[in-house]
Structure 1
Amino acid sequence: MIVVPEAFAQGTIEREGEPGAAWLAELPLIVDQLSKRWARVPAGEVLHGRVGIIVPVRRRSGHADGPEEPQGTEPEGTGGAEDAAAGAEDVLKVSFPHPGNVHEPDAFTAWDGRGAVRLREREDARFAMLLERARTATLADVEDGDEVAAVAGRLHRRLAVPAPPGLPRLRDQADGWEERLREDARELPHGLSRGALGAARATVRELGRDQPDTLIHGDFHARNILRAEREPWLAIDPKGCAGDPAYDAGTLLTARGPVFLHLEAGELRKTVHRALDIFAEAAQLDRDRARRWTQLHAVQAAFWGRRHGFGRARDGAVLARLLQFAEHMAELLRDRARPAATT
């Protein structure tokens, strides 16, 4: 049976308490049972994200369920040695049961491998999937910001397909967003101007309640775009919801935001607006809608960080810097004005 990574086990127990500990105790057996059902055997180091493990697997000897995938690709995940799973063909992903993970396989089914890893098998009761294997290298490893925005935009355009029935609709969250913005502004200390807060509320009122039924990723950022063999880049870890495709511009830029921390104010303004221009053009999105969703995401991130901290920064100087950055993003994107072009 597999060995659950210690860091993943500790993080799960800290976050989920006794239910997390009980799930962890069953996890090796879950992987073993699903591996047998799907005629797979582990073939590399167990990787993990925050809420799930990723086990590289290969077909059990004597079984075949379709054309062989190219050998030598890297396992889907967020870390690990590049040769950690030589010979693996797929990955078995098992997540801690959570409402946010329910519709991930539905999104993969709708995409059917177009711009995202392919879903081989699913076991919804156990929040488990057998997925096409990709590499561990992500788009976040690319240093050229223009390339990141262009690659993400082209991929996003392919993922924006009609949403299947049964997915949660983002428009149904708009009332909650508006109430949370009011509560956070009232209860939390912050450096956001009235103009930035007003722009975020206006986005919820004007865009949030009237959205198309387009399948969107919901957590579209550079670390969820992996290098692959079948296609140059493939998306992973979707939330699977229906709404305005421009919504994903916000998750891309705010999640990538920390790489801009070293920039001065004027340079940051130009860099962020340029990234928006490139992404919106490549994704064939309305640029102003993408800006407005990104500004809302920045406000929400600033408040979330003050209330809960961030994954890798719960307190201290790093958290303070990230909060300052989120608020700065919210201010510089509050209106349509772009920095003047330079020659």
Structure 2
Amino acid sequence: MPRWWREGAEWLEGLPRAVDRQCAAWGLSISGEVAYGSNAIVVPVGEDLVLRMNPPGPEVEEQVRALRWWDGRGMVLLYDADLDAGAMLLERLSTPLTTRPVDEAVAVLGQLMRRLAVPAPEDARSTAVIVAERSAALEREWERLGRPFDAGILRAALDVAPALTETSSEFAVNGDLHSDQVLAGTREDWLTVDPVLLRGDIEYDLARVLWTRLDEMTDIAAHFDIAVREAGLDRDRARDWVVYRTVDYWLWGLSVGLTEDPVRCARLMSAL
């Protein structure tokens, strides 16, 4: 991410040495080419493991906790972690879900939403609390951005928000689920990486499942139905979550200068 060129120049400069130190500490040998995402690099080590290096900080600690909580259920296995170094030793996965047709990918993501729905830790952040805290700011944000879309769309999100601030669900929820975060495995066909551990309604991230590959969908409503069916969701509540989260993301995207995602949000709202 561009932030690391501004905030993490020292970390980036020292990364090759940090990898060498971590390999020495864990007795690892590099066995492949470096890959990278937005916040980390991944180095193949041995035959079936990878060394992941992140900038050290709270995000690493939270991800390690999430990986340990799911403990390989629909999730990449964590073998070891060094929080001070921002290092994780993970099982090696292969092909990303982005390589599969969108209808297949949405079905897989729906199945993973349900598979990850184990009892959550009591202190995990609640999806209901997230809505309660954020929804109070949506109208102010809409005004500040110059009323960028019809007031009826904003009202639709505000109308469903009160019901979403109440939930009886104590399930674990991955708050960052989409095709880029799912890779083919051997223990299970598809495994999730980079989790964000929340507690509450598993419908929470359905909007992200849709908007990340919306450009490939010729029938958005049909793909919504695929996810709802595969995850075993209540359709009306799932729709409410998609409406709320789409408007929330639309406003956030505009506030940080995104150009493509707000257009996807408009299409998604129109379809549902």
Asked if these proteins are the same fold (TM beyond 0.5), I'd say yes
1:129 maps to which residue? 88
1:142 maps to which residue? 100
Question: Residues 114-152 of structure 1: CA distance to partner in whole angstroms, max 9, x if unpaired?
Answer: 2111110112233321111000x2222212x33222221
What is the deviation of 1:186?
Answer: 0.7
- How far apart are the structure 1 equivalents of 2:59 and 2:154? 27
Q: Is 2:156 the partner of 1:217? A: no
Larger RCO: 1 or 2 (CA < 8 Å, sep 6+): 2
Q: Is 2:51 the partner of 1:51? A: no
- Which of 305, 310, 326 matches 2:265? 326
> Would you say the 8 A contact 2:220–2:271 is kept in 1?
no
Change in Cα spacing, 1:322 to 1:248, as seen in structure 2 (3 Å) is closer
Question: Residues 259-278 of structure 1: CA distance to partner in whole angstroms, max 9, x if unpaired?
Answer: 34xx5xxxxxxx22211211
Bigger Rg, which one: 1
Structure 1: runs of 5+ lacking an equivalent: 1-7, 59-87, 264-270, 311-318, 334-343
What is the deviation of 1:229?
Answer: 2.2
1:61 maps to which residue? none
Question: Residues 63-108 of structure 1: CA distance to partner in whole angstroms, max 9, x if unpaired?
Answer: xxxxxxxxxxxxxxxxxxxxxxxxx311111222454443212222
1:128-277 aligned within 5 A: 128-135=87-94, 137-143=95-101, 145-210=102-167, 212-260=169-217, 263=218, 271-277=219-225
Q: Is 2:18 the partner of 1:30? A: yes
For 2:89, the aligned partner's letter is L
SS of alignment partner, residue 74 of structure 2: coil
SS of alignment partner, residue 109 of structure 2: helix
Change in Cα spacing, 1:222 to 1:198, as seen in structure 2 (3 Å) is same
Question: Residues 157-179 of structure 1: CA distance to partner in whole angstroms, max 9, x if unpaired?
Answer: 11111112443333332333113
Q: TM-score w.r.t. structure 2 length?
A: 0.90
> Would you say the 8 A contact 2:128–2:167 is kept in 1?
yes
2:234 maps to which residue? 286
Q: TM-score w.r.t. structure 1 length?
A: 0.73
- How far apart are the structure 2 equivalents of 1:12 and 1:188? 23
Question: Residues 195-230 of structure 1: CA distance to partner in whole angstroms, max 9, x if unpaired?
Answer: 221221233221134363321111110111111222
1:79 maps to which residue? none
Question: Residues 230-263 of structure 1: CA distance to partner in whole angstroms, max 9, x if unpaired?
Answer: 2211111111222211112122112222334xx5
Higher helix share: 2
Question: Residues 39-79 of structure 1: CA distance to partner in whole angstroms, max 9, x if unpaired?
Answer: 21211111111111111111xxxxxxxxxxxxxxxxxxxxx
Question: Residues 19-45 of structure 1: CA distance to partner in whole angstroms, max 9, x if unpaired?
Answer: 411222332333222222222121111
The count of residues paired between Structure 1 and Structure 2 equals 272
- How far apart are the structure 2 equivalents of 1:211 and 1:221? 25
> Would you say the 8 A contact 2:107–2:227 is kept in 1?
yes
Which consecutive segments of 4 or more residues in structure 1 shift more than 6 A? none
Change in Cα spacing, 1:153 to 1:54, as seen in structure 2 (3 Å) is same
Q: Note the aligned Cα RMSD (angstroms).
A: 2.1
